[in-house]
Amino acid sequence: MLSIFLEELLKLIDNSLFLFNLFSTVRRSPNRISINENFYYNTEYNWRFYNQKQGLYAYGNGFKKRKDELLSSYLIKNLEFTDNDNIIDIGANNGDFYLCFEKKIEYHGFEPSPLVFSNLKYNVKSHNLYNLGVSNIESKNIDFFLSDEYGDSSILPIKNFTKKITIETTTLDNIIHKIQKKIKLIKVEAEGYEPEILQGLKKYINEVEYITIDCGFERGIQMKSTITECSNYLIQNNFRMINFGFPRLVVLYKNLNYKKNAEV
């Protein structure tokens, strides 16, 4: 009963860091959060994040729970991964998607926000990390609208952004050309910019086995879904929709032309 009471209390109190740590102590969880120089640290996994509310929501029940949530929401819990599989994470944020993999994967994380990228570097060490946006063009000067508090930054104009900066972008074709290996899975979460990212995958599209995309209602000022544009592009290129998530609008696609043992 005490645990249930504290859990409900956390939902009501805005400044809940002390109560969160108290709750963790009561239920004998190693999950603790500390703060240092405006960044928060979850001591269970030595994990850094920027926004307290976002962090408590994402990691409040521990990292096993967070992993299970991500495996389900991105529809990949039934996929089989092996050591050295190449995973491309577009919109990597703090690196949470990396938590999904127990195998020794080759992880390639792309996060354009400088502040959030600093968390990614702290959390996912010794992997391929890039402070770049991904688009249908390669550019050194693309507008980027920051909304770091909840990871809602976008190349498209959005409501309530805090600052506009310029970023560099690359394309999926350029990324895969540099990797020079088959890609097991691409995850795309770009706050409505997903169609443009897919348009940058042409030459190497048959080197990708699976793509999971957050197609939620996040595109631009009008907050539209991108499921139609993403599905049309991939189906025209011989992908098939094999799973669909709701209420979070995530779609998993499989490449019907993919040949595992063929050379890149």
- pLDDT per residue as tens digits for the range 5-22: 555 555 554 456 777 777
Tens digits of residue pLDDT in 207-237 = 999 999 999 999 999 999 999 999 999 999 9
CA dihedral 78, 193, 215, 234 (to 10 degrees): -60
What's the whole-number average pLDDT of the chain?
90
pTM: 0.90
The secondary structure element, H or E, covering residue 108 is strand 106-110
CA dihedral 167, 171, 177, 181 (to 10 degrees): 100
Taking a C-beta distance cutoff of 8 angstroms, is the pair 242, 258 a contact? no
Say how many C-beta atoms besides its own lie within 10 A of residue 67's C-beta. 18
pLDDT at 207: 97
Cis peptide before 247 (omega within 30 of 0): yes
DSSP 173-240: HHHHHHH-S-EEEEEE--TT-HHHHHHT-STTGGGEEEEEEE--S-BTTTTB--HHHHHHHHHHTTEE
CA 18 to chain CA centroid, nearest Å: 28
**For residues 113 and 111, what is the distance between their CA atoms, to the nearest angstrom?**
6
- The Cα-based distances of 118 to 27, 113, 252 in angstroms read 32, 9, 29
Tens digits of residue pLDDT in 110-149 = 999 999 999 999 999 889 999 999 999 999 999 999 998 7
pLDDT at 205: 98
For domain 66-255, which CATH number applies: 3.20.20.105, 1.10.490.10, 3.40.1000.10, 3.40.50.150? 3.40.50.150
Residue ranges covered by each domain of the chain: 2-61, 66-255
Q: How many helices (H) and strands (E) does the chain have?
A: 8, 13
**For residues 31 and 44, what is the distance between their CA atoms, to the nearest angstrom?**
5
Helical H segments across the chain, by residue range: 2-12, 17-26, 52-59, 63-73, 114-123, 172-179, 194-199, 227-236
pLDDT at 236: 97
The token pair that represents 185 in the structure block: 């899975």
From 198, 98, 218, select the one nearest 153 (Cα to Cα). Answer: 218
- The Cα-based distances of 153 to 51, 112, 194, 200, 211 in angstroms read 14, 9, 13, 20, 21
Which residues are CB-neighbours of 8 under 8 A, at least 6 positions away? none
Tens digits of residue pLDDT in 61-82 = 889 999 999 999 999 999 999 9
